[in-house]
Amino acid sequence: GDSVTQMEGPVTLSEEAFLTINCTYTATGYPSLFWYVQYPGEGLQLLLKATKADDKGSNKGFEATYRKETTSFHLEKGSVQVSDSAVYFCALSDPGNQFYFGTGTSLTVIP
Amino acid sequence: NAGVTQTPKFRILKIGQSMTLQCTQDMNHNYMYWYRQDPGMGLKLIYYSVGAGITDKGEVPNGYNVSRSTTEDFPLRLELAAPSQTSVYFCASSYPGRAGEQYFGPGTRLTVT
């Protein structure tokens, strides 16, 4: 079945460092891909999405490109801030509207 | 526009007690979901609903029940609470055909002792 695999955490970075969180997927069809963010003590929020190959989703300085050839949707940010400390979830929605979350990657940014 | 609201925010139950977690959305979303999130873990789908009167099991439905009498409300019932049900519970909703774009409530932190 369809699934999402994301890199294990936790990840600790210094402020202004470059961030990459890896996400790969397995799907039989043409899924849509998403990144969600969960700030401490809150519910999840949709961060960005891409609905077809080569699409780039972006929001709040974060970017991710839908790479069909490598079945990947890696999350990147050029310069992280302390306020980016959160748990990041990669997710997949298949054409049948089934939805799959990754296990989450915790990011801590230190000043 | 409040989005998805959940009550209560926190609750402590004794083993064997029952309770209902409330979830309401004001976005007229047909699809609604209940997840649980154990410490340091991802989300697991408990139940979901594609519209009023229609519910279906997710990955971990045992020990829970749901109902969907209106578009707005999707309560989750715990019968005979067990320590294994200690978790944070999230309700979410989405438009039909857009299951990937879910709106989450703030969560209910439940402890069963």
Count other C-beta atoms under 10 Å from residue A5's C-beta: 15
| Inter-chain residue contact A43 with B105, CB threshold 8 Å | yes
Stronger pLDDT, B98 or A62, i.e. the higher one: A62
Which chain A residue's Cα is nearest to B33?
Answer: A99
**Chain A: closest CA distance from residue B108 (Å):** 10
| Inter-chain residue contact B4 with A43, CB threshold 8 Å | yes
Banded pLDDT at A72 (limits 50, 70, 90): very high
d(CA A37, CA A81): 14
Confidence (pLDDT) at B97: 73
Does the pLDDT at position A42 exceed 90?
Answer: no
d(CA B57, CA B69): 17
Banded pLDDT at A99 (limits 50, 70, 90): confident
Confidence (pLDDT) at A8: 83
Q: Mean of the pLDDT values across residues B13-35? A: 96
| Inter-chain residue contact A101 with B90, CB threshold 8 Å | no
Contact status, residue A21 vs residue A105, Cβ threshold 8 Å? yes
Angle at CA B106, nearest 5°, toward B78 and B41? 70
A3 close contact with B: CB closer than 8 A: no
Contact status, residue B44 vs residue B35, Cβ threshold 8 Å? yes
Q: Which residues in chain A have their CB less than 8 angstroms from residue B45's CB?
A: 99
d(CA A34, CA A42): 18
Confidence (pLDDT) at A48: 97
Q: Mean of the pLDDT values across residues B27-37? A: 94
Does the pLDDT at position A11 exceed 90?
Answer: yes
Count other C-beta atoms under 10 Å from residue A16's C-beta: 11
Q: Which residues in chain B have their CB less than 8 angstroms from residue A98's CB?
A: 99
d(CA A66, CA A111): 31
Instruction: Give the pLDDT confidence of B38-97 residue by residue, as tens digits.
Output: 887 788 999 999 999 999 999 899 999 999 999 999 999 999 999 999 999 999 999 887
Stronger pLDDT, B6 or B100, i.e. the higher one: B6
B46 close contact with A: CB closer than 8 A: no
d(CA B28, CA B26): 6
Give me the percent of chain A exceeding a pLDDT of 90: 77
Structure tokens at B104: 């989450």
d(CA A33, CA A94): 9
Confidence (pLDDT) at B64: 97
Q: Which residues in chain A have their CB less than 8 angstroms from residue B107's CB?
A: 42-43
Does the pLDDT at position A95 exceed 90?
Answer: no
Contact status, residue B22 vs residue B70, Cβ threshold 8 Å? no
| Inter-chain residue contact A49 with B100, CB threshold 8 Å | yes
Confidence (pLDDT) at B17: 97
SS (H, E, C) chain B: CCCEEEECCEEEECCCCCEEEEEEECCCCCEEEEEEECCCCCEEEEEEEEECCEEEECCCCCCEEECCCCCCECCEEECCCCHHHCEEEEEEEECCCCCCCCEECCCEEEEEC
Q: Hey, CA dihedral for A44, B112, B59, A74, is it positive or negative?
A: positive
